[in-house]
Amino acid sequence: MLILRRYAVLALAGCAVGHPLGAQATRPAVHVIATGGTISNLGDSGRLSGKQLVAAIPRLDSVARVSVEQFSNVSSGEITTAQWVALARRINDLFAARPDLHGVVVTHGTDTLEETAYFLDLTVAGCRPVVVTGAMRNPTMVAPEGPANLYNAVRVAAAPEAERRGAMVLLNDEIFAARDVAKTNTVRLNAFGAPGRGPIGVADPEGLAFARPPAREGCAAPVFGLGTLTDLPRVDIIYSYVGADSVLIDAAVAAGAKGIVVATVGRGGSTPGQDRALDRAVDRGVFVVASSRTGSGRVPVARATELERWKPGKGAQFGADDLNPQKARVLLMLALTRFTTAKDIADSFRKF
C-alpha cells in the first residue's frame, strides 16, 4: 500500500503541473503498451498497471499526449511467440488507424526484452519508432529507475529524429538499436549493451543525441509481414560444450523443430557428436544456424557455392553473422515463415 500511495502522490504531482488543453494539442501523440515485467512488479502486492506507471511520471504531459493500453501483465519469461505475433499486429493496426500517432512505447521485462524488440523491428511496418523499455529495479526497491526509463522512452518515441530507426531499446539513458542490443548483466542498471556496436544515442536531460543517421531507407512494408500467422515455427537453441553429444539435437528434431540454432564454441565450432546429429537434422529438412556463445564476434554466413549444393527437401547449415543465439532464433523463425530454400534463408542473415 505504501508503494501505491507513493505512486498516487507522484501522479498528483504530474497532474498539478499539467499544461493547458491548447498546448497539449501541439504535443506528439505516443501510445504506451504495457506487458508487465520488473517495471510493474510489486512482489506479493501484485503489479502496477500501465496507466499507473504512466500516471506516476511528473510532467510527462509536457513531452507527449500519452495513451495507454494493457496488453498483458506478466514476467518477460511468460511472453510467448504467439504474443509476439499479436503484439506486432496490434502495433501495425495502431499505426494504420492513427496517422497522428508519432510512436509506440512497449514496457517489458528485461530478461527477454531484446528478443521482443528484435521481433518488432522485423515485423512492424512504417517509419515511426517503437521503443521498448523496462527496469532492473522494481517499484518496491530503493531508487527504482523504471519511471525515468519510461519517461525517456516516451521522449524518444515523440522525437522526430527517432523516425526511420525501427525498433529501439531505452534503458539507463542509453538508446540501442533492437538488432544490436543484449542483456549483459543480471542486476546492474547498465545491464544492457551492444557488443561490438555500442548505443545509437543517449537521452540526456537537455535533449536526445543520436550518434548515427537513421538506418532505414524505406518506410512501407515490414521486413517480414505477418499475414495470417498466429504463431511461429518451432526453433530450438542447443548449447555446445565439452562432451556435448547428440541427445538434445535429436530430441529437438523429434519434437518437430523446423530450425536449430547452435550456441557454438568459438567461431562456429561444435563437438563431433553434435556434428553427426546436425547432419542428420539437415537430411530431415531442418535448417541449422551457428551463433557463437561468446557474446560477441561473427560466425560467417555460408558462401554462395556452399548453398548451391542445397537440394529441395533438405535443410542447410550456415552462420548467424554477429547475431547472438536468441536473436538468431528470432530471425530464423521469421525466415522460415517466408522462405524454403537455403539461399533465401541465408540471405536473411546477410541482410538483417
CATH number (domain holding residue 267): 3.40.50.40
* SS3 label, residue 58: coil
**In this predicted structure, what is the pLDDT of residue 20?**
37
Query: How far apart are the C-alpha atoms of 169 and 338, rounded to whole Å?
Result: 26
Residue 262 has pLDDT above 90, yes or no: yes
Q: Which amino acid is at 235?
A: V
Q: Is residue 297 part of a domain?
A: yes
Query: How far apart are the C-alpha atoms of 144 and 37, rounded to whole Å?
Result: 13
pLDDT grade, residue 19 (50/70/90)? very low
Same structural domain, 249 and 201: no
pLDDT grade, residue 302 (50/70/90)? confident
Whichever domain contains 168, its CATH number is 3.40.50.1170
In the structure grid, which three cell numbers stand for residue 309, read together? Answer: 549444393
Same structural domain, 190 and 245: no
Same structural domain, 248 and 203: no
Same structural domain, 242 and 187: no
* Residue linked to cell 552462420: 319
Q: Is residue 308 part of a domain?
A: yes
Q: Is residue 225 part of a domain?
A: no
Same structural domain, 200 and 320: no
Give residue 341's domain range: 235-351
Same structural domain, 197 and 253: no
Q: What is the mean pLDDT of residues 223-237?
A: 96
Q: Is residue 140 part of a domain?
A: yes
Query: How far apart are the C-alpha atoms of 203 and 191, rounded to whole Å?
Result: 16
In the structure grid, which three cell numbers stand for residue 145, read together? Answer: 529507475
By annotation, the residues acting in catalysis are 38
Q: Is residue 217 part of a domain?
A: no
Same structural domain, 253 and 175: no
* Residue linked to cell 501505491: 4
Q: What's the total number of domains in the chain?
A: 2
Q: Is residue 230 part of a domain?
A: no
Same structural domain, 205 and 242: no
Q: pTM for the full model?
A: 0.91
E strand segments, 161-200: 167-171, 174-177, 182-183, 192-193
Domain boundary among 176, 210, 244: 210
